[in-house]
Amino acid sequence: MKREQARKLAKELVSKMTLEEKASQLRYDAPSIPRLGIPAYNWWNEALHGLARAGTATMFPQCVGLAAMFDAPMMKEIGSVVATEARAKYNMQSAAGDRDIYKGLTLWSPNINIFRDPRWGRGQETYGEDPFLTARLGVEYIKGLQGEGEYLKTAACAKHFAVHSGPEGLRHEFNAVASPKDLWETYLPAFEAAVTEGQVEAVMGAYNRTNGEPCCGSKTLLKDILRGKWNFQGHVVSDCWAVRDFHTHHGVTHTAPESAALALKNGCDVNCGNTYLHMLEAYQEGLVTEEDITAAAETLFTTRYMLGLFDPDCSYNSIPYTENDTPAHKALSLKAAENSMVLLKNDGILPLNRESLKSIAVIGPSAASVEVLKANYCGTASQYITLLEGIREAMSPETRVFYSEGSHLYREEVESLGLPGDRLAEAEACAKAADVTILCLGLDATMEGEEGDTGNSYASGDKPDLLLPACQRKLLEKVVSTGKPVILVVTTGSAMDLSYAQEHCRAVLQAWYPGGLGGRALGRILMGDVSPSGRLPVTFYRSENTLPDITDYSMEGRTYRYLKQEPLYPFGYGLSYTRFRYQDLKLPTVIQAGETLEVTVSLENTGAMAAQEVTQLYLSGHPGENQPIRSLCGFSRTALQPGETRELTFRIPAKAMLTVGEDGSRRVLPGTYTLSVGSCQPDARSQALTGQSCLLGSFRIEGAWDFSL
């Protein structure tokens, strides 16, 4: 249904409501209005990496792992699967009269904040540190969620707007200060793409203030930029209980009615929380008008009409419950887990030879853990294959598998629960008895995640540093000291300091939080049934000591675009079991400012194994000071058989060539630029680790182009 038609119907319906009824519809748990035939509707549902918190659903890898695929088309495919399952469950639940929380069609995903600091607990929910990658993946996920039918399949929500990436412990009172340059170069581009390209139906405000204004009531963000500059037509939702923070923590208002009025006046249509229960008080105090309340209600009912919720013949109503958690959906989850894992080091020990391997030790607190598969904002998978189970499944039946937990996940768990001490002696015995050890270390959502999250009993939050817990570091050193080959598998949602492992382990594999079938994906990669093909969507620093304070929102010294020190593992890095060769890079020598740059290159699989390659394009040479060292401007994933060659074509949009000034101006400026094409960044560290060089080409831009919509 076109928005104009939906808005007309919404205005007609809302015109029949009393003021009290209209105000009631601005709550996330909107009650029914029986006299108008309006059922209750709960706006709060989650779909970060699969439908969440409402029972069984296909569980995909956590978002940072999905980002490691560098695969925009697959993100759209995953989004479509999630939307199908949302409809299947909504149809079943609403038919039973169940309209509770987490059961609607407004999905509060994706999280397109920038993972600017590896200590941020919620960074696992994002698509990494790069604005271009985040925008491309976010737009495709939104398109998958919303579909291309007569009605919206589901309504996606881009969050958290804006300049939001920690610290978790201060988010209810914190003021994120971002310069105009950082705002428009780093923090806003993914949201702009979500609105102008993805046509996202909803935007969620953040908890924090940005440059002094609370995000859920910010005139600058919600009225001037979102509604004004970008012409956003959908609805705005507050983060949960964020409007209450206006008077209880930010101190920008004094009472709940004042907070409700500030949010509503600046364009926040629906309140996740209870502050809009005071909306009629705000009206009685003259802080809002009936027209303000009416406008928000009309916006919200426009979305409900666009979802087809008042049309019994909506085609999506026929999706049966059996379309939830199907074998095909689980197969896609497995494929995503395989494509997300990043091989960080391999001295040749991988892939393992299942036929010649007589014994193997699987050690570590992540090995048999279901929690490391899940991450936060997850549903319930109908099948969990742990890392240990996946390795056993992939091994030859004749291979002896020794297992030891080795240590608890973290020492605090031992002390608080009165658990027995670490099992170092057993771990050492297992490692000595085996031909090779798979050591599974890392974190889970009880250790990094959202502060105070109602779905997170441990309240996790940010990491204090980049180190594995002390008990796990002790286990790593003990297993390495046996002298037997050690392959480290890391389950985290963020970058860690893996310097010791890089020096002492034969191979290191970043598995993220890989979803319900993550163990099967790991086993297949270790045994060489599939080649690893993930690439890092974040920089792995050598230590947090080189990072600015987490409260500093300047991009100076952060991420690959502004990092001056050599990283441990660079953004975009990842190894394969085969080799690829790039040849015949072709691009024009001159283009006019504002034009698209067309690039072609030949890619060949020169190894002996079928594999997928992630091609990355980086642009450097922006004129002026304080410019990025380089910026990702294109990527693709290509599957090639041994000896197969394919010509790839990339069209670099003019927006990817923008130079952002200190005043936030965005222009394509004249000058000579360098474009790199290859398996990684064109820096010395990336090329040394991969053993492959990037192709470089230069072109000149003539004229200038001011970017405006």
Only one residue has tokens 């949010």, namely: 263
Does the pLDDT at position 51 exceed 80? yes
Helices (H) and strands (E) in the chain, counts: 21, 26
Does the pLDDT at position 13 exceed 90? yes
Shared domain for 137 and 220, answered yes or no, is yes
pLDDT in tens, 380-413: 999 999 999 999 999 999 999 999 999 999 865 5
Does the pLDDT at position 414 exceed 60? no
Does the pLDDT at position 230 exceed 50? yes
Q: Answer yes or no: is 544 within a domain.
A: no
Q: Tell me if 279 sits within 8 A of 288, measured CB to CB.
A: yes
pLDDT in tens, 311-362: 999 999 999 999 999 999 999 999 999 999 999 999 999 999 999 999 999 9
Give 149's contacts (C-beta < 8 A, 6+ positions apart).
Answer: 315, 316
Q: Answer yes or no: is 498 within a domain.
A: yes
pLDDT of residue 517: 98
Distances (CA, A) of 65 to 62, 110, 398: 5, 14, 33
Mean pLDDT computed over 144-160: 98
- Of 504, 537, 570, the residue that ends a domain is 537
Does the pLDDT at position 276 exceed 90? yes
Shared domain for 288 and 400, answered yes or no, is no
Tally of structural domains, the chain: 3
Shared domain for 606 and 697, answered yes or no, is yes
Shared domain for 663 and 633, answered yes or no, is yes
pLDDT of residue 459: 59
Whether the bond into 367 is cis, omega within 30 of 0: no
pLDDT of residue 454: 47
Mean pLDDT of the chain: 96
pLDDT of residue 159: 98
Q: Tell me if 264 sits within 8 A of 27, measured CB to CB.
A: no
Shared domain for 585 and 449, answered yes or no, is no
Q: Answer yes or no: is 214 within a domain.
A: yes
Percent of the chain scoring above 70 in pLDDT: 97
Q: Answer yes or no: is 622 within a domain.
A: yes
Shared domain for 510 and 584, answered yes or no, is no
Q: Answer yes or no: is 545 within a domain.
A: no
Q: Tell me if 83 sits within 8 A of 146, measured CB to CB.
A: yes
Q: Answer yes or no: is 547 within a domain.
A: no
- Of 537, 565, 600, the residue that ends a domain is 537
Calpha distance 642→640 (Å, rounded): 7
β-bridge partners, 157 = 202
Residues in the chain: 709
Give 372's contacts (C-beta < 8 A, 6+ positions apart).
Answer: 366, 387, 442, 443, 444, 491, 513, 518
CATH number of the structural domain spanning residue 643: 2.60.40.10
pLDDT of residue 278: 98
Distance of CA 387 to the CA centre of its chain: 22
Mean pLDDT computed over 119-135: 98
Q: Answer yes or no: is 557 within a domain.
A: no
Q: Can you read off the two tokens belonging to residue 75? A: 């993100």
- 609 is in which domain, residue-wise? 580-706
Q: Tell me if 111 sits within 8 A of 122, measured CB to CB.
A: yes
Percent of the chain scoring above 90 in pLDDT: 94
**What does DSSP assign to residue 168?**
G
Mean pLDDT computed over 92-101: 96
pLDDT of residue 451: 86
pLDDT of residue 309: 98
Burial track 31-44 (b if 16+ CB lie within 10 A, e otherwise)? eebeeeebeebbbb
Shared domain for 270 and 132, answered yes or no, is yes
pLDDT of residue 456: 47
Shared domain for 24 and 139, answered yes or no, is yes
Q: Tell me if 127 sits within 8 A of 110, measured CB to CB.
A: yes
Of the candidates 188, 164, 142, 186, which has an alpha carbon nearest to the alpha carbon of residue 242?
164
The residues annotated with a catalytic role in the active site are 239
Give 605's contacts (C-beta < 8 A, 6+ positions apart).
Answer: 578, 579, 580, 611, 613, 640, 641, 642, 643, 644, 645
Calpha distance 299→270 (Å, rounded): 10
Mean pLDDT computed over 622-629: 94
Calpha distance 140→145 (Å, rounded): 9
Shared domain for 267 and 364, answered yes or no, is no
pLDDT of residue 421: 63
β-bridge partners, 638 = 613
pLDDT in tens, 19-33: 999 999 999 999 999
Shared domain for 599 and 488, answered yes or no, is no
Mean pLDDT computed over 101-125: 98
Calpha distance 354→369 (Å, rounded): 24
Shared domain for 40 and 66, answered yes or no, is yes
Mean pLDDT computed over 586-612: 98
Does the pLDDT at position 457 exceed 50? no
Is residue 334 packed enough to be buried (19+ CB in 10 Å), middle (13-18) or exposed (0-12)? Answer: buried
CATH number of the structural domain spanning residue 307: 3.20.20.300
Shared domain for 104 and 234, answered yes or no, is yes
pLDDT in tens, 163-207: 999 999 999 999 999 999 999 999 999 999 999 999 999 999 999
pLDDT in tens, 665-707: 999 999 999 999 999 999 999 999 999 899 999 999 999 999 9
- Of 301, 318, 335, the residue that ends a domain is 318
Only one residue has tokens 């502050």, namely: 275
Q: Answer yes or no: is 569 within a domain.
A: no
Mean pLDDT computed over 229-249: 98
